Structure 1
């Protein structure tokens, strides 16, 4: 890896969606951009990888049409390769498939009468989605009642995040659990399937060749000559008011003018030289990220499920989710074959993170066989992939801790943050591109010479 030593007006740290979007919009505004990415390829945790004739993403990603301007920009980058997909997700529960996000009409058709009666009774006594809950468990119980919460929400959430539900912030639910109350129970019971559609997250955009195609197209538009891969940031030298130099791969430092960091918030604190005060370091060390291990299986069959994702709430199942790329784009696998990816959330200091690949593969095959999804020896190839810092663990109090760290970093007037890990928030690609677009406009205005 070689880097230029001139001080580019904008230095971007990290080549995931947030960093690439920042570089793309800044370059479009005429700024000179230099981007450093530690890995040998761009895309961060939103890459598309190949396994022989199969293609798969490093996550069950989808592009939401929630911002018209951003959607138009991404459409311009990908053209006809960006397609609208309708592939809802489901929960695997006791041999049945329950729509997720939970939809009352679907529950009415698939749950036993005794459970439905209990759920309906509980709906009469709850106020709806709670906005004042102190933790996720309280929110789930108050908003959906104990039956639904215990069946589909609490076990899965604790398995996904690796923490007790009463220690997690209500924000871990995101916006996927809205719209489930007594009113919608009756509306959907009367209106049928057409009324439940608005509760499902099954319509989205997806690129022809995998989600990583968005990152690749963004990198092409930015200009590959501005991107330096294999460039790990190892030191951020500062004078207390500005970031002055960035050291790459422990080599000679390079001067910087303006810096946008998409690196994990806690990592930036560790890279500062001089280091932050002990109390700030202690806060950073107390904040955690969830990591993922992926098991990829190429299968000699046309399809495994009709779903974008299939969730497993049962605590006895080590995996949280299965996604089938071919249900997002038929070009992700050859005719007559498909590929599936199973996610195993982990903390880095647990046995799950160090479990041998062969054992994890056996766990995946056993799960699919036990659920009647695989018949005989249909696995033709397999792979494994690790996704570190997949998402921040939003524990109770994490927002306040993150705010404290952000306030400390705000003293550096030439340092900006953008991204899920950089801001310690759970967000989506369209939001990252929207924020990058606004940031680039602001930086352009700041860089413009006075009249």
Structure 2
């Protein structure tokens, strides 16, 4: 019997992880399709002036599945560092260490904020937390109290997703806020996840996806970069005919027994033939993403600060986070230069999205001044744009997502998974876990165990983002 041919759409962690694992297990012939010339997707990396940069701040968390972490360690070797986290959050004009530390909170936390949070805890102890409701606002208020919500989570959520907290689904609170209750905050203070450490590759976070692809190629996977799926035709008797196109407009066709897609489900739904039902297309139009502009400033110093990432929930600062990639691995080179990356959530096509690099540079320097951060005249400013940075869970979004999910699930031999495929708030270790889980559902003859996959999906539903 000939080997089943699986075409993986998307070269992010979920796609590269599946390509590697499928070949490692010898379960399928694999072709991975990536539309750009870079692997990793939003979790990719690129080099500028001798520095490896990411698309925003990324790190591999200690919560990573042991088997996956073992593979990554084996593949990267000395190129994988295990580092202490040194983040900072600016809360009511005061800097707090992130992850939170008990002694730091006692010394630096704004006193009115501390008293307000304590009063919220006392009220909940005396009267109970009350009904959670169904919105992001009601869920967090019931669990964390008014003070933490009004001064931290609500302003941060307005910046991050561009919606009022009461217009967002409560699911967003459960999926996105890892410390979603006072008891969880206390547990994290007593025992920080991963002992306050993280993993990071020497050549940027995208090196994880790159090494998965490289090892997958050694085992026989074909990695086809610079091509994207333009049309997916279902064939009678099973399988697919995929029309590929590159930037030059060249086209070619590829036959597949199965398609494993990690690309945004909204994009996938528009390329499948026979034509997609109108109700599914309508549902796809209602699924929305928050975009992001990444602003990179090259500064003429060895090191800007000792902090890996600064967080800004306040509304008077445009960026939500600024990171210094050299600090993530602890690199000393190049001397006399470091590049920082500021993240500004926005809507595709709005004023922020359309700003020039010069305008964006001035905006970030203004933010630095507002936050009392060190200011150096940048020698270079450039930007990157992510059209689909974060999924937005507006009220009732799950109905539209389920309509799309049910339709795709009814198509034989088509699998969706990964952060973009599932429209999920997930970390890279979650995406890789999905990839490994999918491979576990495929037997040696190419048969996919859908019942086992549903069991895995129940596990995926419990994933909560690690910040």
Q: SS at 1:159's partner residue?
A: helix
Match of 2:228 in 1: 232
Separation (CA, whole Å) in 1 of partners of 2:358 and 2:316: 19
Match of 1:123 in 2: 121
Match of 1:191 in 2: none
Q: SS at 1:125's partner residue?
A: helix
- Of residues 384-393 and 212-221 in structure 1, the stretch that sits farther from structure 2 once superposed is 384-393
Are 1:88 and 1:200, in contact at CA under 8 Å, matched by a contact in 2? Answer: no
Name stretches of at least 5 consecutive residues in structure 1 with no aligned partner.
1-5, 189-194
- Aligned pair 1:198/2:197, yes or no? no
Match of 1:418 in 2: 417
Separation (CA, whole Å) in 2 of partners of 1:183 and 1:244: 47
Of 220, 226, 245 in structure 1, the residue corresponding to residue 214 of structure 2 is 220
Match of 1:445 in 2: 444
Aligned residues: 436
- Of residues 129-138 and 79-88 in structure 1, the stretch that sits farther from structure 2 once superposed is 129-138
- Aligned pair 1:178/2:186, yes or no? no
Of 41, 48, 51 in structure 1, the residue corresponding to residue 48 of structure 2 is 51
Separation (CA, whole Å) in 1 of partners of 2:185 and 2:36: 47
Match of 2:155 in 1: 155
Q: Taking structure 1 as reference, are residues 63 and 280 closer, same or farther at Cα in structure 2, changes over 3 Å only? A: same
Are 2:34 and 2:225, in contact at CA under 8 Å, matched by a contact in 1? Answer: yes
For residue 129 of structure 1, report the CA deviation from its aligned partner. 8.4
Separation (CA, whole Å) in 1 of partners of 2:314 and 2:88: 14
- Of residues 157-166 and 329-338 in structure 1, the stretch that sits farther from structure 2 once superposed is 329-338
Separation (CA, whole Å) in 1 of partners of 2:372 and 2:9: 45
Match of 1:318 in 2: 318
Q: Taking structure 1 as reference, are residues 328 and 159 closer, same or farther at Cα in structure 2, changes over 3 Å only? A: same
Are 2:418 and 2:435, in contact at CA under 8 Å, matched by a contact in 1? Answer: no
Q: TM-score, normalised by structure 2?
A: 0.86
- Aligned pair 1:27/2:26, yes or no? no
Match of 1:245 in 2: 241
Are 1:102 and 1:177, in contact at CA under 8 Å, matched by a contact in 2? Answer: no
Separation (CA, whole Å) in 2 of partners of 1:15 and 1:86: 29
Encode CA deviations 1:30-88: one digit per residue, 9 max, x unaligned: 22111111112221111111221222111211111221111101111101211111123
Separation (CA, whole Å) in 2 of partners of 1:389 and 1:295: 16
Encode CA deviations 1:155-197: one digit per residue, 9 max, x unaligned: 1111101111112223434464427527966x99xxxxxx545
Match of 2:111 in 1: 113
Q: SS at 1:443's partner residue?
A: coil
- Of residues 393-402 and 76-85 in structure 1, the stretch that sits farther from structure 2 once superposed is 393-402
Question: Within 5 A, what are the aligned runs for 1:266-277?
Answer: 266-277=266-277
Are 2:36 and 2:227, in contact at CA under 8 Å, matched by a contact in 1? Answer: yes
Match of 1:301 in 2: 301
Match of 1:135 in 2: 135
Separation (CA, whole Å) in 2 of partners of 1:295 and 1:431: 27
- Aligned pair 1:13/2:14, yes or no? no
Separation (CA, whole Å) in 1 of partners of 2:260 and 2:209: 17
Encode CA deviations 1:261-297: one digit per residue, 9 max, x unaligned: 0110111111112221111110110110122111111
- Of residues 18-27 and 439-448 in structure 1, the stretch that sits farther from structure 2 once superposed is 439-448
Encode CA deviations 1:325-354: one digit per residue, 9 max, x unaligned: 122113375234322100111211422211
Separation (CA, whole Å) in 1 of partners of 2:332 and 2:46: 10
Name stretches of at least 5 consecutive residues in structure 2 with no aligned partner.
449-467
Of 67, 70, 79 in structure 1, the residue corresponding to residue 68 of structure 2 is 70
Q: SS at 2:82's partner residue?
A: strand
Q: Taking structure 1 as reference, are residues 184 and 356 closer, same or farther at Cα in structure 2, changes over 3 Å only? A: closer
Are 1:325 and 1:332, in contact at CA under 8 Å, matched by a contact in 2? Answer: no
- Aligned pair 1:435/2:423, yes or no? no
Match of 2:146 in 1: 146
Q: SS at 1:447's partner residue?
A: coil
Separation (CA, whole Å) in 2 of partners of 1:200 and 1:28: 28
Q: SS at 2:46's partner residue?
A: strand
